[in-house]
Structure 1
Amino acid sequence: MTTTTSPPPTTVERPRPSAAAPAGRGPRRRMRKDLLRSRIAAWSAVVVIGAFGLLPVYWLLATALSTPESTFQFPPKLIPTDLTLGNFTALAENDQLISYLVNSLVVASITAVLSVVVATYMGYSFSKFRYRGRRSLMHLVLASQMFPQALLLVTLYTVFSSFGMLNTYTALVLSFTTFTMPLCVWMLKGIFDTIPDALLEAASIDGASRWRTLHSIVAPLAAPGMIAAGLFAFVRGWNDFIFALTLADKEKQTLPPGLVSTYIGEFQTAWPQLMAASLVVSVPVIVAFMFLQRYLVGGMTAGSVKS
């Protein structure tokens, strides 16, 4: 009797686990790379925009601290070596520049106050009252912004000349207010729209007149918007060049045309002194923005959402 032996069972070798990345790690790496690329792109944009805005300011400061000889060197030096404060000390010795500074402060301040006062009453009227011709008047105020300001210069010059108002603060204030008031009106109207009518009705029930309601209740609530409108009007009056140059003589001119007539000549321009003066006259506006920043942001956004 023969016995048959069965062959031994064959063992199937299983593949060893490879050192490849586990499932899901590849998409995570791609997401990290995409996130890194987006951050690099965002910071690159911030750097480019920051350089676009800050490099002119740096060059303004560098030129103001340079001597006239180093200003015209070629190639120009990015970091000046011959620094001097003589350009700033010369400003204090120039009485005419101080006169221009006083004129700018007077004209810009009166323009801001007048624009806010007129825009407050007009904006409140457009927002809380309903009368015939209201929408047409609103569109007329808005349409006044469509005309170039220089286009009206000849007309304003003729009107002020016929009334004997040339070379006066009144001509400058009225011309500046003409262009700042429309935007101030619409800005304050949007803020008055956010004040509920129930509050005004409650004040009327308590016996408050319309004037008392506006001055004691509405105006304090709209204070951030009024400050924002006043700051806009102040900057507009501070920076104007063409109207201040045309409507006023040397005694009543403001800083922008005054700086040009002082430092820019037919054959030579005193760039270091001009840059120093430009830097100094920017300080009041910068200080105003620093102290009124929260009112400015609140006033600009208060009328964006109607409650």
Structure 2
Amino acid sequence: MNAKKVSANVVAVLVAAFFAFPTYWMVTTALKPKKDLLSSSFDLIPSSVTSGNFVTAWTKPGFLQSLGNSLLVSLSAVVAALVIGLLAALAMSRMRFRGRKGFVMLMLVAQMAPFEALLIPMFLMMRDLGLYQQLSSLILIYFAVTLPFCAWTLRGFVNGIPIELEEAAMVDGCGRWGAFRRVTLPLLGPGLVATSVFAFITAWNEFLFAKVMVRAEDKETLPVWLSGFQSAFGTDWGGAMAASALFTVPVLVFFLIVQRKMVTGVTAGAVKG
């Protein structure tokens, strides 16, 4: 192995360690006893571990309810954004119509708007629609926020697939929808996975709109529930870190599921193409 490969591997390990360290610190803090949490000593490896913080987080009232609410809101928004975004991407990539370039630029501009700047207009809109204090308001908001990114990203993936593959399938007897389903859709596996992961993380981690739009405790999402570890009497850092570790588990599970689907989609698309 030459010096360049060694240097590249060392840099890669350092970068990976840099990004993995916050997660490592979160998990080790969650495993520490309460007496060691505010200690002035800097220990990378805890001298003693306990599962009490995870028990505290798991048994805190509202955890399972908030977990279900977050899953419902995030998955619903992601599925809707992927379906509509894919259809929009196909139209922008495969069809030629007046104003197409302007529409593409409009989607790019929509992504530049700060998320917080939409709070008051969204609040007034959901209130007038009678959706205030309803989880459906969060689904609509997260759908509207992630849709431009989904459509813009998927458009790039659709452009990367030669249209001649669809035309060849149509010559062999497939209709336009059949050619898309049998040829193009399997090849879009990597794009669908990358887009869905980003959209899911965006909806899963969102706090501001979830805090403002839904005030009832039985409709809280996990980010709002997680803020309950901070009170006027202080912050339960052990419980907060344990809850944060549990908070990341659904994201990891979701990524593992779609990653396997990505490999399947690429293989099927290569064979059918």
Q: Which TM-score band applies after superposition, normalised by the shorter structure?
A: 0.7 to 0.9
Correspondence 1:91-106 to 2 at 5 A: 91-106=57-72
User: 1:110 matched to which residue of 2?
Assistant: 76
Deviation at 1:165, TM superposition (A): 0.7
Correspondence 1:69-84 to 2 at 5 A: 69-84=35-50
222, 232, 243: which one pairs with 1:255? 222
2:144 paired with 1:159: no
User: 2:197 matched to which residue of 1?
Assistant: 231
2:188 paired with 1:188: no
Q: Is the 8 A contact 1:225 1:295 kept in 2?
A: no
The size of the alignment, in residue pairs, is: 265
Q: Unaligned stretches of 5+ in structure 2? A: 266-273
140, 144, 157: which one pairs with 2:106? 140
Q: What are the Cα deviations for residues 48-97 of structure 1, in whole angstroms up to 9, with x where unaligned?
A: 43442233222211210112221112234433223211111223323401
- The amino acid that maps onto 1:82 is S
Q: Is the 8 A contact 1:172 1:247 kept in 2?
A: yes
Q: Which moved more, 1:265-274 or 1:219-228?
A: 219-228
Q: Which moved more, 1:116-125 or 1:246-255?
A: 246-255
Cα distance change on mapping 1:212 and 1:295 into 2, 3 Å: closer
Look up the SS of the partner of 1:78 in the other structure.
coil
Distance in 1 (CA, whole Å) between partners of 2:209 and 2:79 is 19
Look up the SS of the partner of 1:282 in the other structure.
helix
Cα distance change on mapping 1:223 and 1:48 into 2, 3 Å: closer
221, 228, 235: which one pairs with 1:269? 235
Q: Is the 8 A contact 2:189 2:262 kept in 1?
A: no
Distance in 1 (CA, whole Å) between partners of 2:197 and 2:105 is 24
Distance in 2 (CA, whole Å) between partners of 1:270 and 1:227 is 36
User: 1:54 matched to which residue of 2?
Assistant: 20
Look up the SS of the partner of 1:131 in the other structure.
coil
246, 268, 293: which one pairs with 2:212? 246
Q: Is the 8 A contact 2:57 2:240 kept in 1?
A: no
Q: Is the 8 A contact 2:69 2:220 kept in 1?
A: yes
Deviation at 1:265, TM superposition (A): 1.3
Q: What are the Cα deviations for residues 240-277 of structure 1, in whole angstroms up to 9, with x where unaligned?
A: 111111111232221112101x2011330000000001
104, 110, 115: which one pairs with 1:149? 115
Deviation at 1:207, TM superposition (A): 5.6
Q: Is the 8 A contact 2:58 2:243 kept in 1?
A: no
TM-score, normalised via structure 1 length: 0.77
Distance in 1 (CA, whole Å) between partners of 2:8 and 2:189 is 37
Cα distance change on mapping 1:73 and 1:112 into 2, 3 Å: same
**CA RMSD across the alignment:** 2.7
Query: Going by fraction, where is helix more abundant, 1 or 2?
Result: 2
Look up the SS of the partner of 1:251 in the other structure.
helix
Cα distance change on mapping 1:51 and 1:210 into 2, 3 Å: closer
- The amino acid that maps onto 2:242 is A
Q: Unaligned stretches of 5+ in structure 1? A: 1-34, 300-307
Distance in 1 (CA, whole Å) between partners of 2:204 and 2:165 is 37
Look up the SS of the partner of 1:121 in the other structure.
helix
Q: Is the 8 A contact 2:126 2:137 kept in 1?
A: yes
Cα distance change on mapping 1:128 and 1:52 into 2, 3 Å: same
134, 139, 158: which one pairs with 1:173? 139
**What percentage of residue pairs aligned between the two structures are identical?**
34
- The amino acid that maps onto 2:155 is K
User: 1:126 matched to which residue of 2?
Assistant: 92
Deviation at 1:138, TM superposition (A): 1.0
